[in-house]
Amino acid sequence: MSLKDQPVFRTVQAPDSYPRTTSAAVRYVPILKDEVVIGYLWAATTDDAARYVPREQAGDAAFDAAVAWTQRLRWAKANGVTPLRALRHWAGEAEDPRAGRVPVGRPFELASLEALVELAADG
C-alpha cells in the first residue's frame, strides 16, 4: 500500500442501533442549539426506526450534532427505549454543547421520511 492508495475501512464492531430508514410515516422533533433548529430527530410511526437528520442551512453544528445523536440513539436502543419514546426522552433537558436540545412539546408528523429530509434540506 502506498500513500496514493485509498484506505479501506471495515467496521469490526458497532453497537446496535435502530434501522435508519422507513417507508412509514414519521414523527419528529426539532433539535435546537442556541435557539436555532439544527436538525430533526425522527421515529417511524411503526416504532421500528429512528435517526437524526441535520438541517443543511445550520452548517457544521448540525452535522457535528449527528455524532452525538447517533450515540444517544445507540444508548436508547441498548437500554430498551423504543424509537417513539426516544423522541421524548431528552425533551426539556438542558442544552448539550454538541447535541443541542429537544424542546418540550408534542412531536410533529409527516407522511414520509423523504418529506422530512426535504424539510431539512430546504431550511
Question: 2 phi and psi, to 5 degrees?
Answer: -110, 175
Q: Residue 6 — very low, low, confident or very high, per pLDDT cuts 50/70/90?
A: confident
Q: Is the Cβ–Cβ distance between 43 and 49 less than 8 Å?
A: yes
Q: How far apart are CA 69 and CA 73, in angstroms?
A: 6
Q: Residue 98 — very low, low, confident or very high, per pLDDT cuts 50/70/90?
A: very high
Q: Residue 42 is inside which H or E element, if any? A: strand 36-44
Q: Residue 5: what pLDDT?
A: 78
Confirm whether pTM is higher than 0.85: yes
Per-residue pLDDT tens for 46-75? 999 999 999 999 999 999 999 999 999 999
